[in-house]
Homo-oligomer: A and B are copies of this chain.
Amino acid sequence: MSKSAQFIDYFLSHREVTKELAAKIDPEHYTYKPTPTSMEAQKLVNHIIETTYTFVRLANKQDPEKLFDEIDSTELSEKVNTYTEATVKLLSSLSDDNFEQVIDVSQIVGKRIPASQLLNMAMDHEINHKGNLFVYLREIGHTDLPMYVKV
């Protein structure tokens, strides 16, 4: 199994959960936030899917890009789907050698690291914020929640 295929499996085992949580947030709760200094639910989901995509673009030596405007009113779960497809497509194009390539992310994390490490950082970032999202979901009234990862 190629490194790319392995990583896509790993990515989707968490992204499927992000997607399931996002789909449970109805538009009236898009601006829900637990405390005044917290990110709004909608912004939190956007932050997760945009950041993972940015890191995967960088691992591919491509500049970051956003797939929706800041004010775009597309439904949240459709945004998740669009970003997920674009992310998988980019991951599919990585060869095993590409995983070892050093990427200059000194402006973001202060150092140059192999693409594989950058991709793992993207996953830790998504898992952390998905962990935030679970608490939001419970607070807006959902008690039937998925496991944090699909096994």
* Nearest-Cβ distance from residue A52 to partner chain B, whole angstroms: 14
Q: Taking CB as reference atom, which chain B residue is nearest A151?
A: B109
Give the residues in chain B near A124, CB-CB below 8 Å: 14, 123, 127, 148-149
Give the residues in chain B near A67, CB-CB below 8 Å: none
Give the residues in chain B near A125, CB-CB below 8 Å: 148
Which of A30-38, A79-87, A92-100 contacts its partner?
A30-38
Give the residues in chain B near A123, CB-CB below 8 Å: 124
5 residue pairs of the A-B complex, CB under 8 angstroms, read: A14-B124, A34-B135, A124-B127, A125-B148, A128-B131
Known: A34-B139, A128-B128. 10 other contacts (CB 8 A): A34-B135, A35-B138, A37-B143, A38-B135, A121-B149, A123-B124, A128-B130, A130-B131, A131-B132, A131-B133
